[in-house]
Each structure stands twice: as structure tokens, then as C-alpha cells.
Amino acid sequence: MATVAVYGLTAVPVARRLHVTRPARSRPLLVGGDPWVIDLGHTLHSAGLDVLMWAGSAGQRDLITQAGLELAPGELLASATSEGAELEGITAVLLLTDEDDFNTLAATVLAGNPETRVYRLAPRDPTDGVVAPYSGGDTVFAPDLTRHDLATRHGSGAQITTQPANGGIPPGTDLLFLITSEGALHPATTSRPTTPQPGDTLILLDPRRAGVK
């Protein structure tokens, strides 16, 4: 009985250290409260993911709550920057605010957590900001799909939609994420192109819904 108890209590921590645990359904944290970010959160939630969101302003937090999305506690990011702290249960952090320097600094601080992947938006302009122009690292989406481009296209009526991957990526759309049949979320990034497989779900920015050419 003692041996079984020891194995039962230590199996999960040991598996995590050896990186052999089976990935569970993704639980992303979206940081940002612009309309397109809330739309993205709603789309990911509708696709079956347990989405958590956080925003800096009270107005944006109210909009997140009104959209029916789960709002992270205000101290979550602050505690995550403490030495040794972990974002318990969160599989990926997506830094999608309208402050390029904040996205870059937060990505740098949070990158040391081996249990959680961290992604940020490409800055509006490579020369803008105090920190963003001088930081490398992976950014989400296509190189020409910056924070400004996303906000502008979404404001013009482009929609964030889902579609089965069986038919490939529709012409004229931008691939933002894919969700595997097991529920794992994979962002399209500037350095690692994402190749959809049959059974995956595509998350797309689709301007065709707004009549944008």
C-alpha cells in the first residue's frame, strides 16, 4: 500500500519534469481587451477551448465579462512574474494588447516558465517603441499581420471564423491558429509555419464576410 501511494503521489510531478505528460486540451490566456481580441476569445471558446482573458482597463474587463468570457484575477500576471511562480493550468499566454512595449517586456519576463508557451503580437512598426524594436523572439501570425493591421481589418468588418481543415486554407484569408482534434491550440507564427492536418479546426481572419478584397 505504501509503494502504491508513493507512486500515485509522485507520478505526475516526475512526468512533468521529464516532459512526458500527455498534453491536455489547451487553456490559453489572452491578454488584451480590444474588440478583435474579445472576438478571438469568443471564437476559441466556441471551438471548445477553456479560454481565460485579462485586460488592463476596467472598461475592457467589463466588455470581456459582457461577452460571457472568463476574466482572470487582476493579480495573475503580477504573480506570474515572481521568481518560481507558475501560471497554473494555463498552457499558453497570448500577449495581444495595443502596447507593443508591454507585449515585448511581458513576453521576456514570462518566457522563463517551461510549462507555458508565450507569444506576442508583432509591433505596428519595427522602429516604434522603446523595447519592441530591439527584441527578437517569435511573434504570432503572418509578418504583415501586425497589431494595427488586425485592428484595422476587424474594424472594417473582417470576422474571426472557424472552419474544418479538410479543405485547406481558403484563399484571401489569414490563418491565425489551428486546433487539433485533441484540442491543442497551435498559433501560426512568423518562424514556424503551421500546416493544417485533416481533422484540425482552422481559426481564420476572413475579410470575405465584410466584402473586403
pLDDT in tens, 56-90: 888 999 999 999 999 988 766 655 555 445 567 88
**Burial per residue of 22-61, b for 16 or more beta-carbon CB atoms within 10 angstroms, e otherwise:** eeeebbbbbbbbbebbbbbbbbbbebebbbbbbbbeeebb
Single-letter code of the amino acid located at 167: G
The C-alpha cell at 83 is 521568481
Strands ordered across the beta sheet of 92-95:
70-71, 52-54, 28-31, 92-95, 117-120
pLDDT of residue 187: 92
Cβ atoms 43, 203 nearer than 8 A: yes
Which residue from 26, 22, 73 is spatially nearest to 45, judged by alpha carbons?
Answer: 26
pLDDT of residue 127: 54
Report helix, strand or coil for 160.
strand
Single-letter code of the amino acid located at 65: T
pLDDT of residue 7: 35
pLDDT of residue 180: 93
pLDDT of residue 128: 55
pLDDT of residue 143: 74
Segments in the chain below pLDDT 50: 1-16, 18-23, 83-84, 129-136, 211-213
Instruction: Identify the bridge partners of residue 159 per DSSP, sorted by sequence position.
Output: 206
The C-alpha cell at 180 is 487539433
- In this prediction the pTM is 0.79
Q: Where are the beta strands (DSSP E) in the chain?
A: 28-31, 52-54, 70-71, 92-95, 117-120, 159-164, 174-179, 185-187, 201-206
pLDDT of residue 148: 87
pLDDT of residue 20: 43
The C-alpha cell at 116 is 507555458
Q: Is 88 left (phi over 0), alpha (psi -120 to 50) or beta?
A: beta
